Amino acid sequence: MKLPVYDVLIVGAGIVGAACAAACAAEGLSVGIAEAEIIGGGATAAGMGHLVVMDDSEAQFALTRYSQTLWQRLAPELPPDVEYEGCGTIWVAADADEMRAVTEKKQFYESRGVPAEILDARALHQAEPNLRAGLPGGLLVPQDAVIYAPCAARFLVEQAQSGGAQLHLPRVVTEIAPDGVRLNDGTSIVAQSIVIAAGTWSAKLLPGIEVRKRKGHLVITDRYPGFVRHQLVELGYLKSAHSLTSDSVAFNIQPRKTGQMLLGSSRQFDKESALIDHGILRRMIARAEEFIPGLGGLSAIRTWTGFRAATPDKLPLIGPMPGYENLFLAAGHEGLGITTSLGTARLLVDQLLQRAPGIPAAPYLPGRVYENVHA
């Protein structure tokens, strides 16, 4: 039995797939979405929903900056349950070395049009009274924001649907075929182009690509409105994101609109189990307590883990897969999937329609890594 023919079939309705579906539908393409379980599940559900501009590399900065602008434009349309909150990020310096890095970071951002403000010790304390005394300061990036990603994914799917997109849920894609995909119920979906936006499941569908699971831990507290006002990230966060081998934690805390505090972050490779790793959890909480001594007294109501989809060069795979006529990737966003979902969608659509992309697409092309993995 065959189902309708689409211009584009998106595999996966996490936030990246949802954004791609919305962007394609907005261009008048006929869109199908195949989702195995839940809209906004997977890493979208597990993560923090931080909309952040990151300067780890020029390419990462370009994509996050581009995406942040798109989120800002979209913000007024977002329904209340997306909980868009323009609380900004403060990158916290723990010592004089990191304070020097703060100055460099500010220059990097401002020279590229991203407002950033250096906070000295006093200003930092005023901005966040619960941070410990003795921190030299930090960098405030006021245009960063926070959203509740599962509902954002749902909003984007609804946008796609009002543009004519059809949702196939629950449907598990088992195989990529020349003309579309095969599903686990024996049926097929025919499509001109296929986009794999399946996060950590992408490598199952396309065994040649390298998208590894990078496990993270999170804790959510009961409601303490105003305890923290901005997303707080330690400057050492990037060191943690860098390490390709060892387990690491970094201080990262987010105020939710509900007044709950969402605490992260940790990174581990080669862990298949979703169970809580007590050692990592302890280190993560202990690290956070070094910045916020009063944190220990907050009531935690749940802990969980999630798997980021990580690529070897830390940049996502966005674009056509070499060796295939009609297969595209939109996966491997590691910890930046929520932020870069909108930018990814735009780059993808530009490539589908073969028009000039909004930012240079080369750094994210699968072709940068893969030549021809078609078996």
Partner 1 sequence: MTSRRASFDTLVVGAGPAGIAAACCAAESGARVGVLDNNPRAGGQIWRGHERSDASPDARRWFGKFTAAKIDFLPSTEVIDQLENGRLIVQSIDASSIDEVRELTYKNLILSTGARELFLPFPGWTLPNVMGAGGLQALVKCGLPIGGKKVIVAGSGPLLLAVAAHLREHGADVRLIAEQAPWHRVARFGMSLAFEKTKLAQAFAIRRQLSGVPYKTSCWPLRANGEEKLESVTLRTGDRTWQEPCDYLACGFHLVPNTELPALLRCDLRAGFVRVDQSQRTSIPNIFAAGELTSIGGVDLSILEGQIAGYGASGQSARAAQLAPQKRRLDRFAALLRETFSLRDELRSLADAETVVCRCEDVTVSRIRHHLSWRASKLHTRCGMGPCQGRICGPATEFLLGWKLDSIRPPIFAASLQSLAVAAAARTEEDLMLNEESR
Partner 2 sequence: MPDVISITVNGASITVPLGTTALAAILSTGASSVRRSVSGAPRGPLCGMGVCFECRATVNHRPHSRTCETLCAPGMDIRTGDHVND
Residue numbers at the binding site for partner 1 (CB under 8 A):
37-41, 45, 81, 150-151, 154, 169-170, 219, 221-222, 263, 276, 278-279, 281-282, 285-286, 288-289, 295-304
User: Rounded to the nearest whole angstrom, what is the least distance from the CB of residue 170 to partner 1 in the complex?
Assistant: 8
Can you tell me whether residue 165 is helix, strand or coil? coil
Q: Which range in 218-226, 275-283, 320-328, 336-344 contacts partner 2 by CB under 8 A? A: 218-226
Give residues 253-272 in contact with partner 2 (rule: CB under 8 A). 258
Specify the residue, 81 or 120, whose C-beta has the smaller distance to partner 2: 81
Number of residues that bind partner 2 (CB under 8 A): 6
224 binding partner (options partner 1, partner 2, none; Cβ < 5 to 8 Å by kind)? partner 2
Map the footprint of partner 2 across residues 273-332, applying CB under 8 A. 297, 299
Tokens representing residue 117 in the block:
């403000």
Residue list 79-98, contact with partner 2 (CB under 8 A): none
CA–CA dist 232, 235 (Å, integer): 10
Place of tokens 């609380």: 87
Q: What is the distance between the alpha carbons of residues 267 and 277, in angstroms, rounded to a whole number?
A: 11
Stretch that binds partner 2, among 79-87, 144-152, 222-230, 280-288 (CB under 8 A): 222-230
CB of 45 to partner 1, least distance (A): 5
Nearest to 149 by CA among 232, 38, 229: 38
Query: 4 — phi, psi (to 5°)?
Result: -55, 160
For residue 43, what are the CA distances in angstroms to 153, 181, 319, 323?
A: 12, 23, 21, 28
Q: Say which entry of partner 2, partner 1, none residue 4 contacts (CB below 5 to 8 A, set by partner kind).
A: none
Residue closer to partner 1 (CB basis): 288 or 330: 288
Q: What are the φ/ψ torsions at residue 131 (nearest 5 degrees)?
A: -70, 150
Distance CA 243, CA 240 (A): 6
